[in-house]
Amino acid sequence: MTILVTGGAGFIGSNFVLDWLEQSDETVVNLDALTYAGNLQNLASVQGDARHVFVHGDIGDRALVDALLARHQPRAIVHLAAESHVDRSIHGPGEFMKTNVEGSFTLLEAARAHWGSLGDVAKAAFRFHHVSTDEVYGSLAPGAPAFTEAHPYAPNSPYSASKAASDHLVRAWHHTYGLPVVTTNCSNNYGPFHFPEKLIPLMIVNALAGKPLPIYGDGQQVRDWLYVADHCSAIREVLARGRVGETYNIGGWNEKTNREIVHTVCALLDELRPSAAGPYARLITHVKDRPGHDRRYAIDARKIERELGWRPAETFETGIRKTVVWYLAHADWVANVQSGGYREWVSKQYGA
């Protein structure tokens, strides 16, 4: 038995691969293009494990995907490969359209051909699990009900628009061709192996280096935060028992403002790695808000709890502590991902 995971060297992907191999003896074929955020160092602990087959390649390469499906005959595809950073999508939307829309289309077509070639039993068991984001739903007003699976799509950034497009493709391939799909829309993930351009790892890394901690605008943007290991367990549950053609929202039940997040990180660092220069909160700097910045996201995750019995194991307090401890213990990993290209990006995005 084998599953194919796309984007399995990225943040969520590598956590999912490691979680899968810890929970199961089933082989994982891991297809990743190793763009700037894909990092094989994330998977160092399974190097040499015969259950992990890494393939360096692009989901948009139809010949390669066809060959992998024919060779490994996976019973499921877990589609995690995506360009995911909103700020990058604003500066360069083309890559997001190429990977998230065209790449998903190519993968769906390859999956449809593979699924169509299977015998009746294997065909009935096959699943295409598409991993998406709560950002496709747009922005919520303060006090408005959280996003349910029935919430209308209203993407506001090139990133969220590209993910919304891929969600619609997955839905259409199910309704038109019968491809057995499930889709999950998750809230903001955090945890180990998070590339330090996103809010939480950027704050940790900058604080330890004595650099400014940039917060967009007034810092009152609200997000629901989901510890990445909880996201992995939810994907496993949906893949195993989710109803074909359905969407499941995955959230952490942790709505926090960006400002709250940064102050929490600073307080943990004050406790765990105090600075002789004083509290880390002294480094907080408010910078110009990004264009079209959504004000609030919130996930209503009652459907997945009701149907599959899933709830997150971590509170925000336990998850953020684990995250900070992990970054403090993995300074070598942080140093290795901070290439010249990464430093240029942070400088471009947040200024001097």
Catalytic residues: 134-135, 159
Q: How far apart are CA 224 and CA 247, in angstroms?
A: 18
Tell me the sheet residues that pair with 250.
Answer: 186
How does strand 247-250 pair with strand 181-186? parallel
Pull the structure tokens for residue 150.
Answer: 């029935």
Tell me, letter by letter, the H, E, C secondary structure of the chain.
CEEEEECCCCHHHHHHHHHHHHHCCCEEEEEECCCCCCCHHHHHHHCCCCCEEEEECCCCCHHHHHHHHHHHCCCEEEECCCCCCHHHHHHCCHHHHHHHHHHHHHHHHHHHHHHHCCCHHHHHHCEEEEEEEHHHHCCCCCCCCCECCCCCCCCCCHHHHHHHHHHHHHHHHHHHHCCCEEEEEECEEECCCCCCCCHHHHHHHHHHCCCCEEEECCCCCEEEEEEHHHHHHHHHHHHHHCCCCCEEEECCCCEEEHHHHHHHHHHHHHHHCCCCCCCHHHHEEEECCCCCCCCECCECCHHHHHHHCCCCCCCHHHHHHHHHHHHHHCHHHHHHHCCHHHHHHHHHHHCC
How does strand 188-190 pair with strand 222-227? parallel
Given a contact cutoff of 8 angstroms between Cβ atoms, the answer to whether 320 and 264 are in contact is yes
Pull the structure tokens for residue 137.
Answer: 């739903």
